[in-house]
């Protein structure tokens, strides 16, 4: 049974609009990259360590978040095995609800994050990826949101098209943020 609000719209139909409004409000606040990622994680119901934000600098995607990945290396935009590089090159959002079957560079999944949750060491099972593009349509970075688990059944719900739309809106919002422009 779907609940209805005063407007007659189902609660499921109202949720994406509410998520987009929350994402738009992120830009009005002067927040840092980690704060932005933490709030995006809350909106999409994932752990903060399941959000990655990368900025494009001189042909390399460098991590802005999580902090532990800042020093773990960078991803060449020309990489054929990195989903983030493909997202940046294609300028298209991507959704993988069976990510373990996708050929990808998994080196960053092995980096221990500061949290003590054992699930943070689990492999990525589901992934959404969106390019961050400036007003001129140039890619300035990539945002990725994942669900981790020892297997796909432990990773939680599949991402939906509404989730992907929310991530795309977040990417548009991030493009305007000072942290994406080297500030």
- 112 within domain boundaries: yes
Q: How do strand 94-96 and strand 139-148 relate by DSSP bridges?
A: unpaired
pTM over the 0.85 mark = no
pLDDT of residue 114: 56
- 169 within domain boundaries: yes
- 143 within domain boundaries: yes
Q: How many CB atoms lie within 10 A of CB 130?
A: 26
- 29 within domain boundaries: yes
Residue ranges of the chain with per-residue pLDDT less than 70: 1-17, 19-20, 22-24, 26-29, 103-121, 182-183
- If one counts the domains in the chain, the total is 1
- 5 within domain boundaries: no
- 6 within domain boundaries: no
pLDDT of residue 68: 81
Dihedral-angle region of residue 156 (phi above 0 means left; psi in -120 to 50 means alpha; beta otherwise): left
CATH number at residue 141: 3.30.450.40
Domain of 108 in residue numbering reads as: 11-181
> Which strands sit side by side in the sheet containing 139-148, from one edge to the other?
74-76, 60-65, 51-57, 139-148, 124-133, 94-96
- 166 within domain boundaries: yes
């Amino acid at each position: 049974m779907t609940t209805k609000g005063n407007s007659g719209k189902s609660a499921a139909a109202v949720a994406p609009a509410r998520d987009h409004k929350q994402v738009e409000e992120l830009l009005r606040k002067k927040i840092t990259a980690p704060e932005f990622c933490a709030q995006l994680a809350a909106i999409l119901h994932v752990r903060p360590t399941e959000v990655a934000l990368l900025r494009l600098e001189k042909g390399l995607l460098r991590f802005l978040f999580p902090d532990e990945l800042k020093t773990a290396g960078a991803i060449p935009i020309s990489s054929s095995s990195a989903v983030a590089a493909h997202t940046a090159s294609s300028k298209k959002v991507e959704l993988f609800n069976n990510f373990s079957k996708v050929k990808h560079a998994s080196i960053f999944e092995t980096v221990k994050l500061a949290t003590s949750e054992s699930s943070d060491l689990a492999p990525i099972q589901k992934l959404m990826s969106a390019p961050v593009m400036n007003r001129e349509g140039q890619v300035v970075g990539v945002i990725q949101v994942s669900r981790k688990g020892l297997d796909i059944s432990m990773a939680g719900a599949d991402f939906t098209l509404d989730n992907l739309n929310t991530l795309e809106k977040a990417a548009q919002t991030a493009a305007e943020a000072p942290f994406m422009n080297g500030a």
